[in-house]
A and B are shown apart, each in its own frame.
Chain A
Amino acid sequence: MSDLKPGMRRCDTTGLPVCLDAQAFIKLNAVMAVVYLLVGAIAALLLVLTRWPAVHLLDTAWFYRILTLHGINMLIFWILFFEVAVLYFACTTLLNTKLFSRKLAWVSFGLMVVGSVMTDYTIFMGKADVMMTSYLPLLAHPLFYLGIILVAVGTLVGVGNFFGTLYVAKRDKNYEGSMPLVTFGAMTAAIIAVLALLHGAIALVPTFTFSLGLTPEPDPMWYRLIWWGLGHQSQQVNVAAMVSIWYLISYLTTGAKPINEFVSRAAFLLYILFINLASAHHLLVDPGVGAGWKIWNTSYAMYLAVLASLIHGFTVPAGMEIGMRIRGYGRGLFGWLWNAPWKNPAFSGFFLSLVIFGFIGGITGVTLGTQQINILAHNTMRIPGHFHATVVGGTTLSFMAVTYYVVPLFFQRDYPMKWLARLQPYIFAIGIVMVSLGMSFAGTNGVARRTWDIDAAGIYGSTAHLMLGIMGVGGVLAFTGLLIYILLTVWAVFFGESNKGRAIFDWGTPPIVASQAEAEAAEAEASAGRAPGTMVLVMILLISFVVYYFANWKALADLWWVR
């Protein structure tokens, strides 16, 4: 690493270079992200307390309003603000480079804040009860669309700043050879973000002009097709960002070392190449697109994107297994796993995120995206059951986990009440697993998503009510975990003990206990490509996957015949 440039400082513990401009914008974007996380979380609590039939808190209008607010704030605002922070981190600190442009960073941040406030204001005024998807011809106030468009443009500007930084780092030879894996993952996220946001513009700009009465109504089916080019790809941005964070945290907490850089990088590339076409799985029971088109796009494209996730599902824990074995925690098949730093909230958050994303989110998602099986699941609670496992149990939990390093590194403050921080990922994870499973099983009982009341139909039995109850209890638990996260983080940021000039608090990273000989033996195992513990874990995943997948075909075979 070369000497520090002006405008940069070196972290006292990690020795990582920190660009002061980037640090300022990482702070700003992360703070806004957490603000929207809180707004979305309060909305979430109100929603679970309404869909839990025994409580049934909100009235009809406010339920749909809050549901719109929840989706937009969580899936767009919280995640996009945080992702911009992640991008700024990955291109400056990891490449030892200054941020490309301070001005662009201001423009990006300004547009995103103005747009997000505009959208939330419109929703609160009751002018945009249109859900996250705002399917035409259901129409919101023009400010709702304009707000989202501004957020998208702001994000694009931030992504442009990221690419500018990559270019400058390469030009000035700030790093040698290829860029680090985490930066590479962030770059794939940024590329997918550009594709997603362009789809968003194609869908939302004509909708905005239509809402102003300037242009004719876009075709509702056309809108769905293009909208999902935004809707699903933006979730793949989260996946790519999340996987990058998995690699980052597993390295920071256990010294993880990827077995094969080429495999990990190729898996990121598969996301870019195939995820757009795989968005077709949102239209599987729609009129207007034929069965051949649905089968073709969802089959080859989706499964190549799924392959990428299956590969990361191996490479991330395998890297960790190898890192732990080299440190001397190699006893037996799972010695590396038992001795992992479970009291480090960054580690536990990361590992729980990996497990929830893989076992619940991944398996359910692929099954729901099968053309015929979708008949069983479309617009039922199985859909939110799936994406609460991927986006909340996966992405949000991994973002929370990385905060336990972001705050000490960029805000230079330590967390208070370490014991509570250690518990936080577990409380949140248990809660969100209950939410996800409660929703999924309510969905298999036919309960519809985005519906205020199930009793009006008079057909749902005790199982459906029980499952919604489990979701309700889980929601309260997850909210508690989230509130702990926010309170501790806000406390740390504003009142935390400064760590300037001394080591960042160590959450319990396992020390290196291997002798020279042991470490060399472990290195030799690793270079032979051996990660036996991980191999057992992924086989359990594969078997669960196969069982769940074919159980759904069995359930499908019991339905009425339909052509």
Chain B
Amino acid sequence: MAHVATPPAPTAPPHRRRAWRDILVGWSFILPNFVGFALFTLLPMLAAFALAFLDWDSYSTPEWVGLENFQQLWADENFHVALRNTLYYAAGHIPLTLVAALGLAIALNRKLRGVAFFRTAAFFPYITSLVAVAIVWNTLFNPTAGPVNQVLEALGVASPPKWVASTDWAMPSVIITSVWRDMGYYMVLYLAGLQTIPKEYYEAARVDGASAWQRFWNITLPCLRPTTFFVIVMLTIQSFKVLDLIVVMTDGGPGRSTLVLAQLVYREGITEGKFGYSSAVALVLFVIVLTVTVVQFRINERRSAR
């Protein structure tokens, strides 16, 4: 979405016959994909809105109930827990991934022989399967004899956290794992952003005697603003819809300590068959993501205007 180039408008109004031909030809190209897209993405998306206002279990006939699902939602403690946990996850995942990705990108933005190897290595976690990632991190976080706690004990931490086994530390464990997994992807975006900063800026700053920190603060960060904006938007969308990592790592537990909104949608809708109710949760999730994204775009516009 960052750079969608729109072609210039045609200068002369095309001939009518030609216009019809273009419509047919254009649609003939789009159709094979569009049929699948309309049927399996667009239609379900629209249906999701309607479903939220229905009372529909997998066995009964659908019935229009208006806002009843949302009233029920408001009183549902699971929903409050899931909402809080989703915000918790986002509040941890977004800033930490951002900082880690930027740090990696700056560290790896050098002209050194073999730097490509280091970049590749940092990117690899991102394309590793979630299940493998979850298995590995769950054992790393093993409360009694896992490497993480062995290291912490060696460093003198008397009673290290119980990580995935504890209600307080399960979410931080998930966040740490997700930051580790995702930072390579955003690092790539930041590397691309860093490459667009003209070298002359740094040279001029050096001549003026700017320190490394001043150069970072006054050149690198401002020049990276478009990238940062894009990264934040993507991270936000990604954070609010977190599901698979939770399902494979903790399945919402222990207790409800890592239950998130997307998981509530899945449980109520697909496991329990409460289609209407779960779609209400889904709609709330969608509205949150939409609102946050729109607000971010607004803030960005205002800042750019200055």
Interaction A to B: no
- B-side residues, CB < 8 A to A, are none
